[in-house]
Amino acid sequence: MDLNYFDIAIVVIILITALIGFMRGIVWMGIFLATWAAAILLAIKYKDAVAAALPIKLSSEIAQTGLAALLIFLGVLILGAIINFLFSKAVDAVGLGAFDRILGAGLGVALGALAITLLTMLLGLTELPNQKSWSESALIPKFQEASAWLQTLIPDNLNQYINDNNGGSGTTTLTPSDGSNSGDSAIDDTETPINTIVPSSN
């Protein structure tokens, strides 16, 4: 199997995430991912409430809300880092370090594959799939299948937004007509007679 630079990049990404998972362990990786997800969700949900409660009032409402979201985000990350440190020490103390690292490597591979799948979906909206090296890749078709399945899980309104902003490049999902407006859009097959003017011999 011949690998081009797209395939090499995919292999490198997965190896890096697997190495990070092995070095950190599954406990660290799991808490790390949960912390980031919680930080993003909590910042989105409570940014307005925190912005109103802040003793510092900025002149711009957008800046006030942004500061609140940043404080929530950083606060959750710091708390998660402390929890992660304590759990990692506990895992090492009970002698599960090697098992934890092996599972962490597996999680790293899964995260790398997920990242490449999402990246394949996003790059599919560009002109890159028209390149010869993309079509000749040995690994990209596998991730295209995964991204197509993943796209079925995306809400319809977000899918429609992606298609509307696609600009005609990449893969576009077309919604077939239900025929309800066929009377307005159908092309009239009846030929319209054309009056031909024959020049007079005189």
73-111: pLDDT as tens digits? 999 999 999 999 999 888 888 878 888 899 999 999 999
- Please choose, from the candidates 129, 117, 195, the residue with its C-alpha nearest in 3D space to the C-alpha of residue 166: 129
Q: In residues, how long is the chain?
A: 202
Place of tokens 């090296």: 133
Read off the pLDDT of each residue in 133-158 and give the average, rounded to a whole number. Answer: 83
Read off the pLDDT of each residue in 1-9 and give the average, rounded to a whole number. Answer: 82
Which tokens is 30 given?
């799991």
Global pTM? 0.62
Residue 158 CB partners (closer than 8 Å, separation 6+) = none
Q: Greater confidence, 174 or 73?
A: 73
Q: Greater confidence, 165 or 85?
A: 85
Average per-residue pLDDT in the chain?
A: 80
Which tokens is 9 given?
């990049």
